[in-house]
Amino acid sequence: MNDWSQPDATPSNSTDAAFASPLGATSWGDGFSHDPGFLASQEELRCMLFNLAQSAAPTRAPSPDTQEQDATQLRDRAHAPTRPVLSNPRRIEYLKNYVGQVAPWLDMFDSQCTFRVQIPALARSFPALLNAILAISARQMERKEGIQDSFDSLELYQEAIRLLSPLLQMRDPKVVAACVLLCCLEMMSARAQDWQRHLEGCAALFDAFQMNGFSEGLLQAVFWCYARMDLCGALISDGTQSTLLRPSKWLAPGCHEDDAAKLFKAAQSPDMHANYAVYLCAKSCELVADRTQFVELAVQNDCTGEAFNCRWLQLWGDLQNWLDSRPPELLPINTTTTKPFPHILFLQWAAISSNQLYHTACILLLNLMPKSIKLQPTPAMSALWHARRICGISLANPHHGCLNNAIQPLWIAGRLFSHVSEHTIIVELIRHIEAETGWGACWRIRDLELAWGYQVSRSDRTMDRPRFPVTG
């Protein structure tokens, strides 16, 4: 019998005021996120996940015969053939796009390429997962090509939810993978204010089922894909909120957070060292949010006096140890000192974003550094030094997954610059990311313009246009 206790992640009633973006919309008039059919289906999926996660364990265990009968019926439903939503040529087009364009985002920290290789293979006999794959691929193509009047992705999304509805209680990794893919689809064009609302259902599911970053097999890859989205949601909140699934829940059961470094090191994997950077950045968001709530709302959360100093020093030390202990795969192969930003080139996908998240976490902590703490002056003690490297990494590395995961770090870094030439490069880089990946990014330009105090003109945007890496 499993103890499905009330999860930490619960539906929020947060208001838009928690988020920085004044637009509250995507970069172009994409009607998908406002479509009544999508909104109804999204709410249906969200409620299904919460109802499942919050279900109390039965007071009396069912008989083995009943359990076996129920399990058989669920397996039959999961693998039953369904009438395809689209024509076969169209499905093949979306599958090819998924493998070539979408899966690299999802496999960014996974050298085994679980989303590109294993999940499509599983989807051949699991229609709910197949429709989720097709839906996210269709959504990416619609976003990238600017299609506003025809949404294959909506039909596929709704069909995936319909097929998932009777299967959620299976606790099957394929069901969890389908839910995370649908969550990623929602993130692609969601309003900034709605990010955490879209993530809440998956957070509740992971919490209730005690899935974590050290689960085995497919679930580990699926968890870290979710965790990166959860981190982006925390970064978007600009210091007001932590991740929905607190970082302590990312660790193996029974592991204390003080032992997190040993746990990640024991994995002896460049992928897990990269995931450790995601974890440390989430811990930085957590500390910033806790400090904000303590200062502004007087919440008692271990963020006062010496206790806060100790938390800050511990986290800063963990970040520097992460940098010093990087395996060869996560080191740059070339760093070119150019102005205004250095170009820092990496070979491995996980190296790109993990190093960028290290610099992002350092900026968050330096902005929060207690005045009583005195450390030896080094380049790492400069927030601007880290900001230049965030921009330089994105300028030098063309991987799509690392481009769209750079949107929030670029916003955090971009606010620190004061020269129009720096602003121009960052604006063009953000526009390049949206054009290349289809991921909504340009709403952050308005936020940066508010921080800079002026609107970057079209002439400025085309002046000395930077050369971006060529993508395949």
Q: What is the DSSP string of 362-373?
A: HHHHHTT--TT-
86 HSE (CA, 13 A, CB side)? 24
Query: Rounded to whole angstroms, how far apart are CA atoms 149 and 172?
Result: 35
Same domain flag for 396 and 310: yes
Same domain flag for 141 and 277: no
Find tokens 């949206």 and name the residue: 434
- pTM (2 decimals)? 0.87
Q: Residue 399: inside a domain, yes or no?
A: yes
Boundaries of domain holding 316: 256-472
For the cut 50, the answer to whether the pLDDT of residue 439 exceeds it is yes
* 8 A C-beta contact, residue 415 and residue 238: no
SS3 for 427-460, per residue? HHHHHHHHHHHCCCCCHHHHHHHHHHCCCCCHHH
Least confident of 9-18, 310-319, 404-413: 9-18
43 HSE (CA, 13 A, CB side)? 7
Q: Residue 315: inside a domain, yes or no?
A: yes
Please state the φ and ψ torsions of residue 69, each to the nearest 5 degrees. Answer: -65, -45
Q: Residue 296: inside a domain, yes or no?
A: yes
Same domain flag for 145 and 281: no
Q: What angle do CA 471, 277, 241 make, to 5 degrees?
A: 100
List pLDDT tens digits, range 322-381. Answer: 999 999 999 999 999 999 999 999 999 899 999 999 999 999 999 999 988 988 899 999
List pLDDT tens digits, range 6-34. Answer: 344 444 444 333 444 433 334 444 678 78
Please state the φ and ψ torsions of residue 213, each to the nearest 5 degrees. Answer: -70, -5
Query: Rounded to whole angstroms, how far apart are CA atoms 188 and 200?
Result: 16
Same domain flag for 280 and 409: yes
* 8 A C-beta contact, residue 371 and residue 75: no
SS3 for 287-317, per residue? HHHHHHHHHHHCCCCCCCHHHHHHHHHHHHH
Q: How many domains, in total, are found in the chain?
A: 2
